[in-house]
Amino acid sequence: GSKRNLLIFDAEEDLAVSLAKYTADLSAKFAAERGAFTVVLSGGSLIEALRNLAEPPYLETVDWSKWHVFWVDERVVPKDHEDSNYKLALDGLLAKVPIPPGQVYAINDALSAEGAADDYETVLKQLVKNGVLAMSTATGFPRFDVMLLGMGPDGHIASLFPGHPLVKENQKWVTHIKDSPKPPPERITFTFPVINSSAYVAMVVTGAGKAGAVQKALSDKQASSDLLPVEMAILQDGEFTWFTDKEAVSMLQNK
């Protein structure tokens, strides 16, 4: 079965404290259960919200050697480019913690968007064979231990945008987009079947600019048409937790 939680913090700093503990606790759980911890990152403000993981106590208490780090989406730019989600995570977190470099799975920036998406899917399939990455027996798609995701003001998650045909992709694990409404236009992204096969998803959403999409996502649905991408994140068998601040939930009626 699946579980949904809504956490609302008075301030972004409180959210960051809780998100670090959430991630560290899941790291300990999966390291003990499976000897590996598969963590999927997005870009955007999420990385800054993870900053406490690179500080005491987590810097010492987390078993970083068990971490395997992936990206839910990436811009098709060189890895050292300002727009790179890899660079953002490297500078904000990964360079500060002792994860073995071979366990940080950056998207191949020498390939085209299409080539990089296919290449990443091949990398994931190899990790399934090695037993690092779990599979969902229910869906036939890979089952990541946790996805730490942000949401755009338009309700997009990963590079799955409202009204874009990519939201309907149901075969591929990883695909590409050449006309992203959020720049830069060329990106690669995990698909909904992969996101929805996760064991845990944290949806980290702060600020008044997100209040409209949060309100739509958390209000009772009148009709199932016209769903925002964030509303299509429905886990098959997992726990979905909203990490929000007061501003992001300011349009909710019953908090």
* Interacting residues with ligand 6PG (CB under 6 A): 42-46, 73, 75, 85, 150-152, 156, 158, 182
Distance of closest approach, residue 70 Cβ to ligand 6PG, in angstroms: 12
Of 67 and 161, the one with the shorter C-beta distance to ligand 6PG is 161
Of 31 and 228, the one with the shorter C-beta distance to ligand 6PG is 228
Distance of closest approach, residue 43 Cβ to ligand 6PG, in angstroms: 3
Distance of closest approach, residue 183 Cβ to ligand 6PG, in angstroms: 9
Cβ-closest residue to ligand 6PG? 44
Contacts of 127 (CB under 8 A, 6+ apart): 38, 68, 105, 133
Cα 142 to Cα 134: distance, rounded to the nearest angstrom: 6
Of 28 and 111, the one with the shorter C-beta distance to ligand 6PG is 111
Cα–Cα distances in angstroms (integers) from residue 242 to residues 19, 51, 177, 208, 245, in the given order: 10, 18, 26, 15, 10
Distance of closest approach, residue 31 Cβ to ligand 6PG, in angstroms: 26
- Which residues are registered as beta bridge partners of 38? 68
- Which residues are registered as beta bridge partners of 175? 189
Of 150 and 162, the one with the shorter C-beta distance to ligand 6PG is 150
Closest CA to 239 of 210, 204, 191, 196: 196
Distance of closest approach, residue 11 Cβ to ligand 6PG, in angstroms: 17
Distance of closest approach, residue 190 Cβ to ligand 6PG, in angstroms: 10
Of 66 and 210, the one with the shorter C-beta distance to ligand 6PG is 210
* Both structure tokens of 230: 């964030």
Of 19 and 31, the one with the shorter C-beta distance to ligand 6PG is 19
